[in-house]
A and B are shown apart, each in its own frame.
Chain A
């Protein structure tokens, strides 16, 4: 049995909150770089160049890439042989409080969805815990902005809708979102499971680097098909028109019921952030 202290978790979360908001993951910046080279439409290319300049400027000036520094979505894969000394969830919330304070990040969380008073420290985090074999502790902080989050959709399709129904729903989601989620976008897509499970799959799919296809060739091909179809919509960077509407997308699936075909699309933007660490 290995022991991990609450304070080690807090320090790590605080550091990851700041890191994620100031520097894009390699796969996302690589996709943005490639889209600049390949975009044929002049206005779209200029817009992508400006997004690139913004990313560089954020690094130079130590400013968040986007002012919506998001809800702190924290994913932990916890080895079942690990003992945590102290309160696990409180340790994460404390890390968010420290990271968003010391990192001059925006506090965007209200404590109640209808009475809407800001908690002033961006807590609580949205924590997803997965118990795994062994004594590892892998943690990812993925701050999520709500310009794109608000464009996300979920549908309980019929089994008869099949793969075409899923494609229709995903493409329709992007079309309806239009310029709102700050294209070029990145999509996490969940297929299967139950009503709650499918949303979790979609969110979790955003953690996979967009240059890594689904390990199942059937779904890897579906990812390619969808990307091609979405980039034929013409929405383009910022919705000003062009080829580059979507930088990449990931599908995650789960077994489902004989009577159902749940599908969820978690929309994210060109500032799709995640930072990870092992403890």
Chain B
């Protein structure tokens, strides 16, 4: 099943999604990797606001290559999401609705996804040129000193994603291989 969504999203909009469905996502997506997540935790610890509105937001784990003159963004595929496992539950509990990356998540993240009616979506790992084609606008919004890890606001159109973890406990990394092996 394919869904079309525009950020910010609500819990109700995400409820029909199931592991293995595809999503064409449009709207604002914020980028953050390990270093930016660590700084966001420090802000929260200090009682400061986050650099973007977290309610209903989508965070993409990406560190793009520099854009050539005339390009909006360089190559922009996902990084391994597991490195954000330590930080994601706290952001999900604050209202983050969509995580975008690639690779397995731990049980704490899976629990937080279910608890908050969120989703974890996969972008195509290693397909940086393809993912970049959906990005229509880019602005570095903070922590420029982090280079490729700075927080960027992306405006995306029909960003092609696959549901890995859904709000009902589904996990494509378990069910996908099992379905294939079951077909043999």
Contact = CB atoms under 8 A, between A and B. Distances in A.
Contact of B129 (A47, A54, A179): A54
A108 interface: yes
Interface residues of B, number: 43
Contacts of B176: 43, 236, 239-242
B153 interface: no
Contact of B124 (A150, A180, A238, A243): A238
Nearest to A59: B129
A147 B80 contact: yes
Interface string B61-103: 0111111100100111101101000000000000000000011
B130 interface: yes
A57 B133 contact: yes
Contact of B126 (A44, A62, A66, A107): A66
A52 B147 CA distance: 29
Nearest to B35: A116
B65 A67 contact: yes
Given A67-B62, A105-B66, 17 more contacts: A50-B124, A54-B129, A61-B129, A63-B65, A63-B71, A63-B74, A63-B128, A64-B129, A67-B64, A68-B63, A69-B75, A180-B82, A236-B176, A236-B180, A240-B20, A240-B176, A241-B175
Given A178-B173, A238-B102, A104 B126 contact: no
Interface of A: 41, 43-44, 47, 50-51, 53-55, 57-58, 61-69, 104-108, 118, 120, 145, 147, 150, 178-180, 182, 233-236, 238-243, 269-271
Contact of B177 (A47, A69, A235, A270): A235
B183 to A, nearest CB: 7
A62 B68 contact: yes
Contacts of A242: 176-177, 180
Contacts, number: 154
A229 B103 CA distance: 22
Given A50-B124, A241-B180, A179 B130 contact: no
Contacts of B183: 41
A118 B147 contact: yes
B170 to A, nearest CB: 13
Contacts of A54: 124, 126-130
B167 interface: no
B104 interface: yes
25 contacts: A50-B130, A50-B160, A51-B126, A54-B124, A54-B130, A63-B74, A64-B75, A65-B128, A66-B77, A66-B127, A67-B74, A67-B77, A68-B77, A104-B67, A104-B74, A106-B66, A147-B126, A180-B104, A182-B125, A234-B177, A236-B180, A238-B102, A241-B176, A241-B180, A269-B125
B103 A269 contact: no
A65 B128 CA distance: 6
A104 B66 CA distance: 5
A106 B74 contact: yes
A178 B103 contact: yes
Given A47-B124, A67-B76, A182 B102 contact: yes
Dominant SS among interface residues on chain A = loop
A241 B179 contact: yes
Nearest to A270: B126
A105 B177 CA distance: 34
Going nearest first, the 10 A-B pairs with the smallest beta carbon separation are: A241-B176, A182-B125, A54-B127, A241-B180, A180-B103, A54-B130, A67-B128, A58-B129, A234-B177, A67-B75
A238 B177 CA distance: 11
Given A54-B124, A67-B62, A235-B177, A179 B102 contact: yes
B172 interface: yes
Contacts of A61: 71, 129
Interface in B128-184: 128-130, 132-133, 147-148, 160, 162, 172-173, 175-181, 183
B121 interface: no
A104 B129 CA distance: 13
